Amino acid sequence: MNEALILATMRQRVTSPVRMVLLASMFFMPLLFVCFAPGVGLEPLSNGYGLTLILAAGIIGQDVSSGVLQLVLARPVTRREYVVSRWLSVSLMGGLLASAQVLIAWLLLLARHAAPGPAEAFSRMGANALSAFGGAAVITLFSTLLAGFGDLAILLLASFVMVGLYGIGELVHQDWVTRFAAELGGFLVPEIPLDPIQRAGDIPWVAIVSYLSTVTLCLALAIVVMNRKEFSYASSS
Amino acid sequence: MPPAAEPAGGTRRPPRTLLLIAAVLLALRIVLVVYQVLHPAKPHDLVSWQPIAAAGNLSAATSKPILYDFSADWCGPCQKMKLELFSDPDHATALNRTFVPVTVLDRSREDGENAPEVAELESRYHIGAFPTLVVVRPRGDPRILTGYTDADATMRWLAEAALESHRHAAAPDSAGAKP
């Protein structure tokens, strides 16, 4: 972990006008829904993944295509430090934004006497923060594979494959195909539902193991891919 | 300015510990998924379902509307609804308190035909897809919800149906409906 890299990444992300416009619309639009239709509760809010996706898109690929990465790695920064710092940076930003969104929505609902219990709001904030950390790990791995915004292309392709497999599984009544599609979906959008813990005290062990497996696997593979890359001022990638 | 020192072990040290943890977690994940596939968890239904024949009398005695749940064993969304709605203690308690719940299981795909009372109810409410929830009020038309999205939306719909049922029950000159 490298504090300078984390702060530099945060600065880089917030100085992109397109990113900020997308981020603002994804942050405030659901709050408007909550404001004008309090009956819907916290439902219109995003789960943290969308906000993180906007922040994390091109997290490493953009550095590769712009040539910044060669300069960063010219300093004695280990590649694992670089990967982990980039992931941590967007995860923290995404998690904080998603949690802040839930908090604001809950306060708005509280003012209109339509707020769910604080336990539900805290559970939602926790789940959103976890979703941000998980989603950022997936995007970080994809971003090491292709330059620029290639990570979004991989994510889109994998999502199409998942939907296609799910449809085929339902069509031919093959449970293992739909289960594989569900696992692929769990890999692409890692999350831990905290509702069962909050409602009945049931700990979703499978979801926890799946989430931790996805995050560690993505980060480990991202570091391995980065270690194998050769960067020079003359190379194109 | 002196040159920055190279980190010990070089800048490309393989993440051995992280890879080991990832491998262990991946193996555990595969084991858990295989176990889940081989031993699927059966949802514990907490709703006090009533027999079809007794529903009319119970509804009249308690002044509660009847909630018919039309479902089938092969229907995926029906199982999801059972898991998320009927196995949830809060939702099940609310359903038991508000309605006379009756489950109507379609067996036409498995057995070739349905029991007469099931066929009669499906015909009466024009059931063409599963799951379908029908709230039959003592007075007024039945309310029908086809399909299942999530527990909260379904509970909202059921709460509205129950509220409407109470309003109709309180109204003196409404048309009656056969339960």
Tokens of A2: 């490298």
Closest partner CB to A206 (pick from B10, B21, B36): B36
Map residue A233 onto helix, strand or coil.
Answer: coil
Give the pLDDT of residue B12. 78
Domain chopping of chain A, boundaries: 3-228
Domain chopping of chain B, boundaries: 52-170
- Asked if the B52-170 domain carries CATH number 1.10.287.1060, the reply is no
CA B153 to chain centroid, in Å, comes to 11
- Cβ <8 Å between B18 and A200: no
Give the pLDDT of residue B5. 58
Give the pLDDT of residue A201. 65
Question: What DSSP assignment string belongs to B95-117?
Answer: HHHH-EEEEEEE-HHHHSS--HH
Distances (CA, A) of A39 to A36, A110, B76: 9, 12, 29
The nearest CA of chain B is from the CA of A78 a distance in Å of 4
* Pairing state between β B132-136 and B66-72: antiparallel
Q: Work out the average pLDDT over B143-164.
A: 87
From chain B, the residues in CB contact with A73 under 8 A are 11
Over the stretch A29-77, which tens digit does the pLDDT of each residue have?
888 888 887 777 777 787 788 888 898 888 888 888 877 777 777 777 8
- H/E segment holding residue A145: helix A118-145
Q: Is the pLDDT of residue A88 over 70?
A: yes
- Identify the residue among A71, A210, A213, A214 best suited for mutation to test binding to B, counting B beta carbons within 10 A and taking the highest: A213
Computed over every residue of chain A, the mean pLDDT equals: 85
Amino acid identity of residue A135, one-letter, is G
Q: Are A101 and A107 in contact (CB under 8 A)?
A: no
Tokens of A120: 């539900």
Give the pLDDT of residue B176. 43
Tokens of A152: 């979004």
Give ipTM to 2 decimals. Answer: 0.82
Give the pLDDT of residue A200. 62
| B145 phi, psi to nearest 5 deg | -125, 115
Q: Is the pLDDT of residue A102 over 80?
A: yes
Tell me the Cα Rg of chain B.
26
Give the pLDDT of residue A210. 92
What pTM does this model have?
A: 0.68
Give the pLDDT of residue A229. 80
Tokens of B121: 């109810």
Highest mean pLDDT among A1-15, A82-96, B87-101: A82-96
Angle at A131 between CA A81 and CA A201, to 5 degrees: 120
Tokens of B11: 């800048």
Least confident of A152-161, B147-156, B159-168: B159-168
Question: By percentage, how much of chain B surpasses pLDDT 90?
Answer: 23
Closest C-alpha among A138, A226, A88 to residue B15: A226
| B72 phi, psi to nearest 5 deg | -145, 150
Give the pLDDT of residue B56. 85
